[in-house]
């Protein structure tokens, strides 16, 4: 059986977890939490980093930080995970769903401006598969209309955007706020985990307070106040030191993990190129302004019937493959909120036609060859 994903363990996780136990600091905001946060600040020039229990939680923190009120509007791509939307729905926001680009599932920046109204509070972008959205255009629209930008960078660790002045910026360092995921399906993982990045320092002190259940405990630990107290809303957003210890081991393996993932990604890309040139499928388009972090490898089939047939064909040959998001605009929950059904052509095409192939560190080259051969076999049998 060739599995779709197998979470990678560097081997150092056990030692660090033991260290965390020996430290007798098991709740959050301890030495491993700080080491992880510092890693991100040093490596990617993120201003302020707070480890969270998930990317979902980090997104919920963003919605609180941006003071989202009932009726506020938040623009986001329809082709995304439910957490991107739920975080804002929970504060009473109305989500405004935008279509994907033609050549990749990211939000089509040309669609954003006409969706902006007086009630728009934020634009949430998703760097799908670690491929950057066109951040220059998006930040310009946001600045012009005085709205905030949140980067849902759940899939985008170690990926970069090159702006129009040829400056390379880490994804997650560009919007006012950004969020990452360390769910076991992501490149770097700790089972369940996430990160909030605060790039706009106006949010710094409130972010810490919301993170610590509405108290100023973090400032207290730094000796800035002599008692800590309930000062704002908040919740339990910190992961334990056990989780942070696991994550720290993964972060130390990051360069190795990324090198291997990129090699495997390239094997698929080169191996399937001929099929794509023959017009049977399309391969991921990585524009010049973005790097590829090899978060996932996908192909785009002609239509949903062909895509679903290919999933079944691979399944019968013991290969797992996965479609991805059904557009949020077609979901039962969205439609039940009384929103009108709408047509988002590109999002629907990626929902119907995109297929993700197995990709993980321990996936062997022979296994990749098998998957590639099977995809060719499927299309040969069809023609
Ligand atoms: C994985 C993912 C999330 C959710 O991450 P969790 O850490 O599981 O909460 C949110 N948005 C996107 C785009 C994702 O890929």
Structure confidence by residue, pLDDT tens digits, 29-56: 999 999 999 999 999 999 999 999 999 9
Q: Residue 269: its pLDDT value, please?
A: 98
Residue 81 CA to ligand 1 center (angstroms) comes to 6
CA 12 to chain CA centroid, nearest Å: 25
* Contact (CB, 8 A) for 74 and 68: yes
Cα 31 to the center of its chain, rounded Å: 26
Does the Cβ of 181 fall within 6 Å of ligand 1?
yes
Q: Are strands 73-77 and 48-52 parallel, antiparallel or unpaired?
A: unpaired
Which atom number of ligand 1 is nearest to the Cα of residue 193? 7
Mutate-to-test residue for ligand 1 from 61, 76, 81, highest number of ligand atoms within 8 A of CB: 81
Task: Kindly give the distance from the C-alpha atom of residue 195 to the centroid of ligand 1, in angstroms, as a whole number.
Answer: 11
Could you tell me if the CB of 54 is within 6 A of ligand 1?
yes
Q: Which atom of ligand 1 is nearest to the CA of 57?
A: 9
* 54-75 pLDDT per residue, tens: 999 999 999 999 999 999 999 9
pLDDT given at position 337:
82
- Cα atoms in the Cβ-side hemisphere of radius 13 Å centred on 119: 13
The span from the CA of 268 to the CA of 359, in Å, is 9
Distance CA 195, CA 58 (A): 6
130 pocket-lining for ligand 1 (C-beta < 6 Å):
no
The torsion angles phi and psi of 333, rounded to 5 degrees, stand at: -65, -45
Identify the H or E element spanning 353: helix 345-353
Q: Which pLDDT value is given to residue 178?
A: 98
* Ligand 1 midpoint to CA 275 (Å): 31
Helix-strand-coil split of the chain, %, nearest 5:
45, 15, 40
Contact yes or no for 268/359 (Cβ under 8 A): yes
Which stretches in the chain have pLDDT values below 50? Answer: none
Residue 147 phi, psi (nearest 5): -120, 160
At 66 the pLDDT is: 98
Query: Hey, whose CA ends up nearest to atom 5 of ligand 1?
Result: 55
> Looking at residue 341, what is its pLDDT?
76
CB of 126 closer than 6 angstroms to any ligand 1 atom: yes
């Amino acid at each position: 059986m060739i599995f779709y994903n197998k979470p990678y363990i560097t081997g150092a996780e056990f030692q660090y977890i033991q260290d965390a136990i020996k430290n007798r600091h098991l709740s959050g905001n301890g030495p491993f939490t700080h080491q992880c946060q510092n890693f991100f600040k040093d490596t990617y020039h993120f201003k302020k980093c707070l480890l969270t229990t998930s990317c979902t939680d980090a997104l919920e923190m963003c919605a609180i930080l941006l003071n989202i009120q009932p009726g506020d509007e938040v623009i986001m791509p329809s082709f995304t995970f439910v957490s991107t939307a739920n975080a804002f729905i929970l504060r009473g926001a109305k989500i405004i769903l935008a279509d994907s680009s033609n050549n990749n599932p990211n939000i089509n920046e040309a669609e954003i401006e006409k969706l902006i109204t007086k009630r728009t509070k934020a634009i949430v972008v998703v760097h799908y598969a670690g491929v950057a959205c066109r951040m220059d255009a998006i930040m310009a629209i946001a600045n012009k209309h005085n709205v905030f930008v949140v980067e849902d960078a759940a899939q985008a660790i170690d990926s970069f955007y090159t702006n129009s002045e040829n400056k390379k910026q880490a994804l997650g360092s560009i919007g006012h706020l950004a969020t990452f995921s360390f769910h076991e399906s992501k490149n770097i993982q700790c089972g369940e985990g996430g990160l909030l990045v605060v790039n706009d320092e106006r949010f710094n002190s409130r972010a810490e307070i919301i993170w610590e259940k509405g108290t100023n405990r973090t400032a207290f630990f730094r000796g800035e106040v002599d008692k800590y107290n309930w000062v704002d809303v908040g919740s339990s957003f910190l992961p334990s030191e056990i989780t942070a210890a696991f994550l720290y081991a993964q972060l130390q393996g990051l360069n190795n993990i990324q090198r291997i993932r990129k090699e495997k990604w390239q094997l698929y890309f080169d191996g399937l190129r001929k099929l794509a040139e023959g017009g049977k499928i399309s391969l991921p388009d990585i524009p010049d302004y973005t790097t590829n972090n090899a978060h996932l490898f996908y192909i785009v089939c002609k239509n949903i019937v062909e895509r679903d047939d290919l999933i079944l064909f691979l399944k019968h040959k013991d290969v797992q493959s996965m479609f991805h998001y059904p557009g949020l605009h077609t979901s039962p929950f969205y439609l039940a909120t009384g929103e009108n059904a709408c047509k988002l052509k590109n999002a629907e095409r990626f929902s119907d036609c995109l297929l993700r192939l197995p990709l993980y560190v321990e996936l062997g080259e022979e296994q990749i060859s098998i998957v590639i051969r099977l995809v060719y076999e499927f299309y040969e049998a069809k023609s």
